Copies of this chain bind each other. A is one copy, B any other.
Amino acid sequence: MTILQRNNISIDGSGERTIVFAHGFGCDQNMWRFVEPSFRGQFRTVLFDHVGAGRSDHSAYNPRKYATLGGYAADVVEIGRELGLKDAVFVGHSVSAMIGALAQIEAPELFSDLVMVGPSPRYIDDADYTGGFSEAQIEELLASLADNHMGWSAAMAPAIMGNLEKPELSEELTNSFCRTDPEIAKQFARATFTSDNRADLRNVTARTLILQCRDDIIAAEEVGEYVHREVAGSQIVYLDASGHCPNLSAPQEVINAMDAFV
Protein backbone atom coordinates (compact mmCIF):
# COMPACT_ATOMS: atom_id res chain seq x y z
CA MET A 1 0.00 0.00 0.00
CA THR A 2 1.37 3.38 -0.96
CA ILE A 3 0.98 6.51 1.09
CA LEU A 4 -1.13 7.93 -1.73
CA GLN A 5 -3.54 5.00 -1.40
CA ARG A 6 -3.45 4.95 2.37
CA ASN A 7 -4.66 8.53 2.55
CA ASN A 8 -6.80 8.45 -0.62
CA ILE A 9 -4.91 11.36 -2.11
CA SER A 10 -6.47 13.41 -4.93
CA ILE A 11 -4.28 15.78 -6.89
CA ASP A 12 -5.57 18.45 -9.23
CA GLY A 13 -4.76 21.89 -10.57
CA SER A 14 -1.55 23.24 -12.01
CA GLY A 15 0.91 25.60 -10.45
CA GLU A 16 4.38 25.75 -9.01
CA ARG A 17 3.17 25.72 -5.48
CA THR A 18 0.96 23.17 -3.80
CA ILE A 19 -1.94 23.64 -1.41
CA VAL A 20 -2.80 20.70 0.84
CA PHE A 21 -6.30 20.70 2.32
CA ALA A 22 -6.91 18.71 5.51
CA HIS A 23 -10.35 17.90 6.94
CA GLY A 24 -11.40 17.76 10.58
CA PHE A 25 -13.01 15.21 12.89
CA GLY A 26 -15.85 13.13 11.44
CA CYS A 27 -15.34 14.47 7.92
CA ASP A 28 -13.33 13.72 4.81
CA GLN A 29 -11.92 15.59 1.84
CA ASN A 30 -15.42 16.41 0.58
CA MET A 31 -15.43 19.10 3.24
CA TRP A 32 -13.32 21.17 0.81
CA ARG A 33 -15.39 20.71 -2.35
CA PHE A 34 -16.59 24.34 -2.47
CA VAL A 35 -13.13 25.79 -1.79
CA GLU A 36 -10.45 23.67 -3.44
CA PRO A 37 -11.57 24.10 -7.09
CA SER A 38 -10.98 27.86 -6.88
CA PHE A 39 -7.27 27.27 -6.38
CA ARG A 40 -6.69 24.86 -9.27
CA GLY A 41 -5.79 27.66 -11.69
CA GLN A 42 -2.80 28.87 -9.71
CA PHE A 43 -1.85 25.93 -7.52
CA ARG A 44 -1.47 22.20 -7.51
CA THR A 45 -4.14 21.12 -5.05
CA VAL A 46 -3.94 18.09 -2.82
CA LEU A 47 -6.86 16.55 -0.94
CA PHE A 48 -6.63 13.56 1.35
CA ASP A 49 -8.52 11.62 4.00
CA HIS A 50 -6.98 11.03 7.40
CA VAL A 51 -6.54 7.33 8.13
CA GLY A 52 -9.87 6.06 9.45
CA ALA A 53 -11.86 8.71 7.56
CA GLY A 54 -13.52 8.76 4.14
CA ARG A 55 -11.92 6.41 1.66
CA SER A 56 -8.60 6.10 3.43
CA ASP A 57 -7.27 2.59 3.95
CA HIS A 58 -8.92 1.70 7.23
CA SER A 59 -6.60 -1.29 7.67
CA ALA A 60 -3.85 1.25 8.28
CA TYR A 61 -5.60 2.45 11.39
CA ASN A 62 -3.44 1.84 14.44
CA PRO A 63 -5.00 2.82 17.76
CA ARG A 64 -1.65 3.50 19.37
CA LYS A 65 -0.34 5.68 16.53
CA TYR A 66 -3.54 7.69 16.30
CA ALA A 67 -4.06 8.09 20.03
CA THR A 68 -2.57 11.56 19.70
CA LEU A 69 -2.57 14.17 16.97
CA GLY A 70 1.11 13.42 16.42
CA GLY A 71 0.14 10.26 14.55
CA TYR A 72 -1.91 12.24 12.08
CA ALA A 73 0.84 14.85 11.77
CA ALA A 74 3.36 12.12 10.95
CA ASP A 75 1.13 11.10 8.04
CA VAL A 76 1.00 14.67 6.78
CA VAL A 77 4.80 14.80 6.82
CA GLU A 78 4.94 11.50 4.92
CA ILE A 79 2.45 12.79 2.36
CA GLY A 80 4.46 15.99 1.96
CA ARG A 81 7.71 14.09 1.42
CA GLU A 82 6.06 11.61 -0.94
CA LEU A 83 4.83 14.51 -3.05
CA GLY A 84 8.16 16.33 -2.85
CA LEU A 85 6.57 19.43 -1.36
CA LYS A 86 8.62 22.52 -0.68
CA ASP A 87 7.21 25.74 0.70
CA ALA A 88 3.67 24.50 0.20
CA VAL A 89 0.51 25.83 1.82
CA PHE A 90 -1.24 23.66 4.39
CA VAL A 91 -4.90 24.43 5.05
CA GLY A 92 -6.32 22.69 8.10
CA HIS A 93 -9.89 22.73 9.28
CA SER A 94 -10.62 22.39 12.97
CA VAL A 95 -8.36 19.77 14.57
CA SER A 96 -6.34 19.64 11.36
CA ALA A 97 -5.15 23.16 12.03
CA MET A 98 -3.14 21.75 14.94
CA ILE A 99 -2.19 18.65 12.97
CA GLY A 100 -0.79 21.05 10.36
CA ALA A 101 1.09 23.00 13.00
CA LEU A 102 2.70 19.81 14.32
CA ALA A 103 3.63 18.70 10.79
CA GLN A 104 5.09 22.11 10.01
CA ILE A 105 7.21 22.05 13.16
CA GLU A 106 8.45 18.57 12.34
CA ALA A 107 9.27 19.34 8.70
CA PRO A 108 9.40 23.10 8.22
CA GLU A 109 10.76 22.76 4.70
CA LEU A 110 7.48 21.26 3.52
CA PHE A 111 5.13 24.07 4.45
CA SER A 112 5.90 27.77 4.37
CA ASP A 113 2.27 28.79 4.89
CA LEU A 114 -0.42 27.57 7.23
CA VAL A 115 -4.10 28.43 7.05
CA MET A 116 -5.95 27.49 10.22
CA VAL A 117 -9.73 27.37 9.92
CA GLY A 118 -11.33 27.40 13.38
CA PRO A 119 -8.21 26.25 15.28
CA SER A 120 -8.06 25.35 18.94
CA PRO A 121 -4.85 24.31 20.68
CA ARG A 122 -6.77 22.99 23.69
CA TYR A 123 -10.47 22.30 24.20
CA ILE A 124 -10.38 22.22 27.99
CA ASP A 125 -10.23 25.48 29.92
CA ASP A 126 -7.22 25.88 32.17
CA ALA A 127 -6.53 28.78 34.54
CA ASP A 128 -6.02 31.79 32.25
CA TYR A 129 -6.94 29.84 29.15
CA THR A 130 -10.69 30.04 28.50
CA GLY A 131 -13.18 29.79 25.69
CA GLY A 132 -13.25 26.02 25.69
CA PHE A 133 -15.06 23.48 27.85
CA SER A 134 -14.68 22.25 31.39
CA GLU A 135 -12.88 18.97 31.88
CA ALA A 136 -16.17 17.46 33.10
CA GLN A 137 -17.94 18.58 29.92
CA ILE A 138 -15.29 16.97 27.73
CA GLU A 139 -15.45 13.74 29.73
CA GLU A 140 -19.27 13.75 29.42
CA LEU A 141 -18.98 14.41 25.71
CA LEU A 142 -16.57 11.52 25.19
CA ALA A 143 -18.68 9.22 27.37
CA SER A 144 -21.86 10.03 25.46
CA LEU A 145 -20.08 9.36 22.17
CA ALA A 146 -18.93 5.98 23.47
CA ASP A 147 -22.45 5.26 24.69
CA ASN A 148 -24.44 6.22 21.62
CA HIS A 149 -22.54 7.12 18.48
CA MET A 150 -25.62 7.84 16.34
CA GLY A 151 -27.45 9.94 18.90
CA TRP A 152 -24.28 11.81 19.69
CA SER A 153 -23.64 12.50 16.01
CA ALA A 154 -27.21 13.72 15.46
CA ALA A 155 -26.89 16.15 18.37
CA MET A 156 -23.29 17.20 17.86
CA ALA A 157 -23.15 17.90 14.14
CA PRO A 158 -25.96 20.48 13.89
CA ALA A 159 -24.66 22.35 16.93
CA ILE A 160 -21.19 22.45 15.38
CA MET A 161 -22.50 23.51 11.99
CA GLY A 162 -24.75 26.31 13.31
CA ASN A 163 -26.33 28.10 10.33
CA LEU A 164 -29.93 27.42 11.25
CA GLU A 165 -31.12 28.53 7.83
CA LYS A 166 -29.17 25.76 6.06
CA PRO A 167 -30.38 22.52 7.66
CA GLU A 168 -29.05 20.55 4.68
CA LEU A 169 -25.49 21.31 5.83
CA SER A 170 -26.22 20.03 9.32
CA GLU A 171 -27.75 16.94 7.80
CA GLU A 172 -24.65 16.40 5.69
CA LEU A 173 -22.37 16.73 8.71
CA THR A 174 -24.58 14.47 10.79
CA ASN A 175 -24.43 11.81 8.08
CA SER A 176 -20.69 12.21 7.84
CA PHE A 177 -20.31 11.75 11.61
CA CYS A 178 -22.62 8.73 11.51
CA ARG A 179 -20.66 7.10 8.69
CA THR A 180 -17.43 7.19 10.70
CA ASP A 181 -16.47 3.90 12.32
CA PRO A 182 -17.63 4.29 15.94
CA GLU A 183 -14.38 2.97 17.42
CA ILE A 184 -12.27 5.31 15.32
CA ALA A 185 -14.61 8.21 16.04
CA LYS A 186 -14.24 7.54 19.75
CA GLN A 187 -10.47 7.52 19.57
CA PHE A 188 -10.18 10.48 17.24
CA ALA A 189 -12.56 12.44 19.48
CA ARG A 190 -10.40 11.63 22.51
CA ALA A 191 -7.21 12.55 20.65
CA THR A 192 -8.83 15.82 19.61
CA PHE A 193 -10.64 16.93 22.71
CA THR A 194 -7.91 16.05 25.18
CA SER A 195 -5.11 17.55 23.07
CA ASP A 196 -2.98 20.39 24.37
CA ASN A 197 -0.85 22.02 21.70
CA ARG A 198 -0.49 25.40 23.30
CA ALA A 199 3.25 25.06 23.80
CA ASP A 200 3.72 23.99 20.19
CA LEU A 201 2.33 27.19 18.75
CA ARG A 202 5.52 29.12 19.46
CA ASN A 203 7.50 26.67 17.36
CA VAL A 204 5.46 27.25 14.22
CA THR A 205 7.67 29.02 11.70
CA ALA A 206 5.23 29.24 8.77
CA ARG A 207 3.41 32.39 7.77
CA THR A 208 0.09 31.69 9.44
CA LEU A 209 -3.45 32.82 8.76
CA ILE A 210 -6.21 32.15 11.29
CA LEU A 211 -9.79 32.22 10.03
CA GLN A 212 -12.11 32.90 12.93
CA CYS A 213 -15.89 32.45 12.69
CA ARG A 214 -18.63 34.00 14.77
CA ASP A 215 -20.69 31.81 17.13
CA ASP A 216 -18.39 28.86 16.79
CA ILE A 217 -19.26 26.43 19.58
CA ILE A 218 -15.98 24.53 19.08
CA ALA A 219 -13.48 27.34 18.58
CA ALA A 220 -14.48 30.56 20.31
CA GLU A 221 -13.09 33.94 19.34
CA GLU A 222 -10.86 34.10 22.40
CA VAL A 223 -9.33 30.76 21.42
CA GLY A 224 -8.55 31.99 17.90
CA GLU A 225 -7.05 35.10 19.44
CA TYR A 226 -4.90 32.96 21.72
CA VAL A 227 -3.53 31.14 18.65
CA HIS A 228 -2.96 34.51 16.97
CA ARG A 229 -0.95 35.77 19.97
CA GLU A 230 1.14 32.63 20.25
CA VAL A 231 2.04 32.07 16.59
CA ALA A 232 4.63 34.70 15.76
CA GLY A 233 3.64 37.02 12.95
CA SER A 234 0.32 35.33 12.38
CA GLN A 235 -2.68 37.10 10.89
CA ILE A 236 -6.24 36.64 12.05
CA VAL A 237 -9.26 37.32 9.85
CA TYR A 238 -12.69 37.48 11.45
CA LEU A 239 -15.13 35.96 9.03
CA ASP A 240 -18.73 37.05 8.94
CA ALA A 241 -19.49 33.32 8.69
CA SER A 242 -20.92 31.67 11.77
CA GLY A 243 -20.56 28.11 13.03
CA HIS A 244 -17.53 25.87 12.83
CA CYS A 245 -17.56 24.93 9.13
CA PRO A 246 -17.21 28.05 6.96
CA ASN A 247 -15.70 25.87 4.22
CA LEU A 248 -19.24 24.53 3.77
CA SER A 249 -21.43 27.38 4.97
CA ALA A 250 -19.54 30.37 3.56
CA PRO A 251 -16.95 29.04 1.10
CA GLN A 252 -16.56 32.31 -0.81
CA GLU A 253 -15.48 34.08 2.35
CA VAL A 254 -12.90 31.40 2.99
CA ILE A 255 -11.66 31.59 -0.60
CA ASN A 256 -11.37 35.38 -0.45
CA ALA A 257 -9.42 35.34 2.79
CA MET A 258 -7.11 32.59 1.54
CA ASP A 259 -6.61 34.37 -1.79
CA ALA A 260 -5.54 37.55 -0.06
CA PHE A 261 -3.11 35.56 2.07
CA VAL A 262 -1.46 33.25 -0.48
Q: Given the interface contacts A159-B159, A215-B217, A217-B215, does A166 sit within 8 Å of B154 by beta carbon?
A: no
Secondary structure of the A side of the interface? Answer: helix
Q: Which of A6-14, A98-106, A137-145, A200-208 contacts B (4 or more CB under 8 A)?
A: A137-145
A246 to chain B, nearest CB (A): 15
CA distance A169 to B159 in the complex (A): 12
Contact B156 A174 (CB under 8 A): no
Least distance between A130 CB and chain B CB atoms (Å): 11
Task: Verify B151–A165 contact, CB threshold 8 A.
Answer: no
Knowing A158-B159, A215-B217, the reply to whether A151 touches B137 (Cβ < 8 A) is: no
Minimum C-beta distance from A148 to chain B (A)? 7
Known contacts: A138-B165, A159-B162. The answer to whether A154 contacts B170 by CB under 8 A is: yes
Chain B nearest CB from A243 CB (Å) reads: 8
Q: Which of chain B's residues have a CB closer than 8 A to the CB of A140?
A: 165-166
Number of copies of this kind of chain in the complex: 2
A159 in contact with B151 given A164-B141, A165-B133, A165-B141 (CB within 8 Å): no
Chain A contacts with B in 153-196, Cβ cutoff 8 A: 154-171, 174
Whether B159 and A171, one on each chain, are in contact in the complex, defined by CB atoms closer than 8 angstroms, is: no
A32 interfacial by beta-carbon distance below 8 Å: no
Q: Does A66 contact B (CB under 8 A)?
A: no
- B residues near A163, Cβ cutoff 8 Å: 159
Most buried by B among A151, A158, A162, A166: A158
A–B Cβ pairs within 8 angstroms, 19 of them: A133-B165, A137-B165, A141-B165, A148-B167, A151-B167, A154-B158, A154-B170, A155-B158, A155-B167, A155-B168, A155-B169, A155-B170, A155-B174, A156-B167, A158-B158, A158-B159, A162-B217, A164-B217, A215-B217
Q: Which residues of A contact B (CB under 8 A)?
A: 133, 136-138, 140-141, 144, 148, 151-152, 154-171, 174, 215, 217, 220
